[in-house]
Chains A and B, each alone.
Chain A
Amino acid sequence: MRSRTLAGFAALLRAELADLFQYRIEMFLYGLWQVVNPIIYLVIWSTVVGGGTIAGYARDDFILYYLVFMVVSHLTLAIEVYTMAPSIQTGRLSPHLLRPLHPFWRAGALNISYKAVNLMFLVPIWVGLALILRPAFSPDWLGLALFLPSMVMAALISFLIGSCFAMLAFWTTRSMSFWDIWMSLTLLLGGQVAPVAVLPGFLQQAAVVLPMRYTVGFPIEVALGRVQGAELAAGLAIQAGWTVAAAAAFVVIWRTGVKRYAAVGA
Chain B
Amino acid sequence: MIRRLIRIASAFFRSALQEEFAYRGDLLGNVIRSVLNLATAIGGVAVIFSHTETLGGWTLGQTLSLLGIFVFVNGFVGMFMSPSLNRVVEEVREGTFDYVLMKPVPALFLASARRFVVWHVSDIVLGAIVLGVALVGLEVRASGWGMLLFVALLVCGVAIVYAIWLALTTLVFWFVRVANVTMIFNLFFQTGRYPIEVYPFWLRQLLTFVFPVAFVTTVPAQAVTGRDPSWLVWIAPVIAVVAVLVATRFWRFGLSRYTSASS
Contact = CB atoms under 8 A, between A and B. Distances in A.
Contacts of A145: none
B51 interface: yes
Nearest to A204: B47
Contacts of A251: none
Interface in A147-194: 172-174, 177-178, 180-181, 184-185, 187-188, 193-194
A177 B123 CA distance: 14
Contact of B44 (A32, A177, A193): A193
A248 interface: no
A32 B187 contact: yes
Contacts of B37: 180-181, 184
B110 to A, nearest CB: 25
Interface stretch (B10-18, B95-103, B128-136, B197-205): B197-205
Nearest to B37: A184
Interface stretch (A5-13, A35-43, A222-230, A232-240): A35-43
B30 A177 contact: yes
Contact of B36 (A43, A44, A181, A200): A181
A193 B188 CA distance: 17
B199 to A, nearest CB: 6
Nearest to A37: B190
Interface stretch (B155-163, B171-179, B233-241, B250-258): B171-179
A226 to B, nearest CB: 17
Interface string A26-65: 1001101100110010011101110000100000000000
B183 A43 contact: no
Nearest to A182: B36
Contacts of B41: 184
A137 interface: no
A47 B175 contact: no
B215 to A, nearest CB: 18
Contacts of A200: 46-47, 50
Contacts of A181: 32-33, 36-37
A188 B187 contact: no
B114 interface: no
B47 A26 contact: no
11 contacts: A26-B177, A26-B178, A29-B178, A43-B198, A43-B199, A54-B51, A180-B37, A184-B36, A185-B40, A188-B47, A198-B51
Interface of A: 23, 25-26, 29-30, 32-33, 36-37, 40, 43-45, 47-49, 54, 172-174, 177-178, 180-181, 184-185, 187-188, 193-194, 198-200, 203
Given A188-B47, A200-B46, 11 more contacts: A25-B177, A25-B178, A26-B177, A26-B180, A43-B198, A48-B51, A174-B26, A177-B29, A184-B41, A193-B48, A194-B44
